[in-house]
Amino acid sequence: MLSEKTISIIKSTVPVLEVHGVAITKRFYQLLFTNHPELMNVFNHANQRQGKQQAALANAVYAAAQYIDKLETILPAVKQIAHKHRSLGITADQYPIVGQNLLQAIKEVLGDAATDEILDAWAEAYGVIASVFISVEAEMYQEAEQQQGGWAGYRAFRVERKVQESSVITSFYFVPQDGGSIASFKPGQYVSVKMDIPGEKNTHIRQYSLSDAPGKPYYRISVKREDTLPSKPAGVVSVYLHEQMKEGEVLWLSAPAGDFTLDLEDIRPVVLISGGVGLTPMVSMLNTLVDTKTDRQVTFIHAAQNGEYHALKQQVEEKVSQTSGAAAHWCYSNPTVLDTGAFHKEGYIDLPWLQKVIPNKDAVFYFCGPVPFMAHINRLLLEWNVPAEQIHYEFFGPSGSLDQPSEQAAVPQQ
């Protein structure tokens, strides 16, 4: 337990962290990778370059300081991060390394304002927070390894099939190289894919949502090729998977993880809303609901630029046709002449259209896609007075915020 003095000191740093949090975490990662370059094999380099990881860590540190006397408040966030850590293979012995470099970054960025008293308080607080993560993750590692078909660390899988789903999305079907069984998973979960790519200095690990229902003899992921854009470089892993990975080749997967999952115990109607490649966990949820012959009403809504970028469309339509309780609706922001009759709304998802195609707002809503798209959907649902506890969403990559403007940028471009 933390002393009252330590809690008071940590809380006094909240305003400083609000201003300097990103600067601290940016310096932290610089120190971490300089002092321990081997950790470059764990972290997503693209998120580092784009500043996403630094912002996510800054938000986590800020929340920890704000609720240092009520750590149970941030337990859901802890579990979400712990899932990612377990999937990546973060170990208990790495936490002291992180703590040492984080304290050094605080000292360097804040200068004289980072007194010995403040640094000592943060060292004590970090120790408590780290012990919570280590405990939660230890349980997750044990569960992942001991479940039927489970394993520890990474396991070799062979690419059984590679299927192009749209101009930018390709599905990969993985089966274990050892011929053994595979662990089940909850619809909405993801796996980490670990690859050593020729010409790349470091190992690359990426997390991809599983895009089919559990209970199959394979895992399927559906990957968007991340080409170079003015705002970001090309995705090293996604481009390699699309261009170089062939059927029969082998890569390494973690056991499934993640807390963005479909609640199969709930009996209320389900609304699944996706933009772009955000449809992958939604398809897993849809397939599971149909395969289990649920009586729940299911509404599947997907937004894409046009048919060229619309992946898994035929599969979703076939799945929906298997039950009278399901319906699918497509929204294209920039349809082509080839899309005539192939979509239900042109332009952007808006509230009147949602109210028209969703039979009942007393439902559970799941959505995923680009952050501006999710911010837009979240705003519409809140405007419709859907209770926050009925709204669930997933960030691809480090957690962010949906508290942002959501105008026309909300439509996914791919």
Last residue of a domain, one of 146, 168, 195: 146
Residue 265 lies in a domain: no
State the Cα torsion 275-281-286-288 to the nearest 10°. 180
Domain containing residue 185: 154-254
Question: Catalytic amino acids?
Answer: 95, 137
User: Does 127 fall in a domain?
Assistant: yes
**One-letter amino acid for residue 169 of the chain:** I
Does 131 share its domain with 227?
Answer: no
One domain, residues 183 and 87: no
- Pair 286, 246 in one domain: no
Question: Among 146, 175, 191, where does a domain finish?
Answer: 146
Domain count, the chain: 3
Residues 186 and 65 in one domain: no
pLDDT, tens only, 334-375? 999 899 888 899 999 999 999 999 998 999 999 999 999 999
Q: Tens of pLDDT along the chain (414 residues)?
A: 788 999 999 999 999 988 999 999 999 999 999 999 998 888 876 666 666 778 778 788 888 888 888 888 888 888 988 999 999 999 999 999 999 999 999 999 999 999 999 999 999 999 989 999 999 999 999 999 999 999 999 999 999 999 999 999 999 999 999 999 999 999 999 999 999 999 988 899 999 999 999 999 999 999 999 885 555 557 889 999 999 999 999 999 999 999 999 999 999 999 999 999 999 999 999 999 999 988 899 999 999 999 999 999 999 999 999 988 899 999 999 999 899 888 899 999 999 999 999 998 999 999 999 999 999 999 999 999 999 999 999 987 656 667 754 444 444 444
- Please name every residue paired with 205 in a beta bridge, in sequence order, or none if there are none: 194
Please report whether residue 114 resides in a domain: yes
Q: What is the dihedral of CA 318, 322, 326, 332, to 10 degrees?
A: 10
Which amino acid is it at 85? H
Sheet of strand 391-394: strand arrangement: 345-346, 326-332, 298-304, 270-275, 364-368, 391-394
241 and 158 together in one domain: yes
pTM, rounded to two decimals: 0.91
Is residue 229 included in any domain, yes or no?
Answer: yes
- The CATH number linked to 362 is 3.40.50.80
Indicate if 40 and 92 belong to the same structural domain.
yes
Shared domain for 339 and 321, answered yes or no, is yes
